Structure 1
């Protein structure tokens, strides 16, 4: 899969099959749509293209700072690499772009830039300035510019939207198994390892402090999780705490990972942490000693879970 930043950087003489959307989560509902696109494009000997936008339109048009996305744009791109798509185009969404009329979008983007042969689009999809474009106009323009439009049935789109909502709710509630089942893969957090207060090392549980720089990234419920990551091309398991460290100082939220059987400097490395299992809620203990006792129990429970399930 080739990833293209900005539609203006894309050019092809080959005809394409295209779908358009945010695809946050790239969950099983999205995968169903993308699989259909890829399969039909291959059968027709055409190239498959997924056009997405970033920032999310709500961030730009509604200044919605409360919006939480399941994936960062980098995570989304990595997930889409596994789908068999030929091209992923990430176009910067701006107010200027939002003012493009439906006709201009079809003519200038779909036809002139993407060289479209077929558009697979969601039920009740709207596009263009003031969301003026719809399936009726798309069908009219498809006859004018000689491409096919296939609208995905309402039931399939309902499945997609409900899945996204359920995933966010499940993560907020700590229902990780439900979220991962809907996603079809393990929910992940990605960030750079930064300096912490080094308390973990003094009590026998050194941690990597993960800084997730994207403020729009959904952070799941506070608590302790069983996790895994890839370090030096090896799978390493561990346990992660999301919370404010109430036993220590009750400071701002931190994401701290203790890797099992691993003792290397990870500072400044960029890691992706997969969340496998929710162990327990965050607690405030009466003393550091009580915290250490619980951490040892957590480690044993985590190791048992890994041994029995992975």
Structure 2
């Protein structure tokens, strides 16, 4: 941190294309300063580190929210003694009741303050709350375009209802915490098991098992063969296939899953895994 000359400050949940526009202004001694609110659910905790080569420093909002503009700048100067440039977004606010903006930074900080203007995709401004909204309606492709990468969740492996391997299709069942789950339904996905380096084409289900025991599940069926998951898995969402539906028999459910698998296979066929 003592070598840091440029920093970018923000919440950065999602590390989306708008955030990346700020990171592009950092030099090779740049550091990303994450203001951790406790509400991040697109890239919670240190999952942000997957989407940048810059070092990240985390500041808890509760530890700094009481500071006025001068106190905040002084804190930054203590943490980064060689600081010459601060990069923020056009909507950046800080301090108690978020009363300070980049204008206050410019008035107090003796170095350069760079303000990055609004980033748009297809003429729509990119924000984390819009990505959340897209996920909640199943617009995976739209969310991924705003993110600049596939939306991803990570979960611990848990035992499922045992029906899949016996009567349907074997799945890896996950307990997903901290991440926002997309709309209930079936998705074309890529699944990474434990600490494997590569992803497997898969079809994943999120929602209540309305055709069987009614319990909530996050489960993934690997298309290229049944694999053992010992600890955890990561699901990367590519496209939405269909809504969660209730079927009158296990056979009808099985036929629907066969169609899901075919659609997912077609969608994922040309991806580089």
TM-score > 0.5 by shorter chain: yes
Kept in 2, the 8 Å contact 1:16–1:48? The answer is yes
Kept in 1, the 8 Å contact 2:202–2:264? The answer is yes
Aligned match of 1:30 in 19, 28, 34?
Answer: 19
Kept in 1, the 8 Å contact 2:151–2:237? The answer is yes
User: Which stretch of structure 1 is more off in the superposition, 160-169 or 182-191?
Assistant: 160-169
State how far apart, in whole Å, the 2-side matches of 1:242 and 1:151 are.
39
1:76 to 2:64 alignment = no
Kept in 1, the 8 Å contact 2:186–2:205? The answer is yes
CA shift for structure 1 position 262: 2.8
> Which residue is equivalent to 2:10?
21
CA shift for structure 1 position 113: 1.1
Kept in 1, the 8 Å contact 2:151–2:236? The answer is yes
CA shift for structure 1 position 181: 1.4
State how far apart, in whole Å, the 2-side matches of 1:29 and 1:175 are.
19
Q: What are the ranges of 5 or more consecutive residues in structure 2 without an aligned counterpart?
A: none
Kept in 2, the 8 Å contact 1:228–1:237? The answer is yes
TM-score normalised over the length of structure 1: 0.79
State how far apart, in whole Å, the 2-side matches of 1:201 and 1:219 are.
24
How many equivalent residue pairs?
268
Kept in 2, the 8 Å contact 1:29–1:160? The answer is no
Kept in 1, the 8 Å contact 2:11–2:37? The answer is no
CA shift for structure 1 position 288: 0.8
> Which residue is equivalent to 1:275?
237
1:245-299 Cα distance to aligned partner (Å, 9 max, x none): 1000222x210111123333214x2221101111111110011111111111211
Aligned match of 1:106 in 45, 51, 73?
Answer: 73
> Which residue is equivalent to 2:227?
264
1:254 to 2:243 alignment = no
CA shift for structure 1 position 174: 1.2
SS at match of 1:234: coil
SS at match of 2:210: coil
For residues 39-58 of structure 1, the aligned pairs below 5 Å read 41-42=27-28, 47-56=29-38
For residues 123-272 of structure 1, the aligned pairs below 5 Å read 123-143=90-110, 147-153=111-117, 155-156=118-119, 162-214=126-178, 217-231=179-193, 232-251=196-215, 253-267=216-230, 269-272=231-234
Q: What are the ranges of 5 or more consecutive residues in structure 1 without an aligned counterpart?
A: 1-10, 60-67
1:119 to 2:119 alignment = no
CA gap 1:258/1:227 in 2 versus in 1, 3 angstroms: same
CA gap 1:137/1:163 in 2 versus in 1, 3 angstroms: closer
State how far apart, in whole Å, the 1-side matches of 2:72 and 2:133 are.
34
SS at match of 1:112: helix
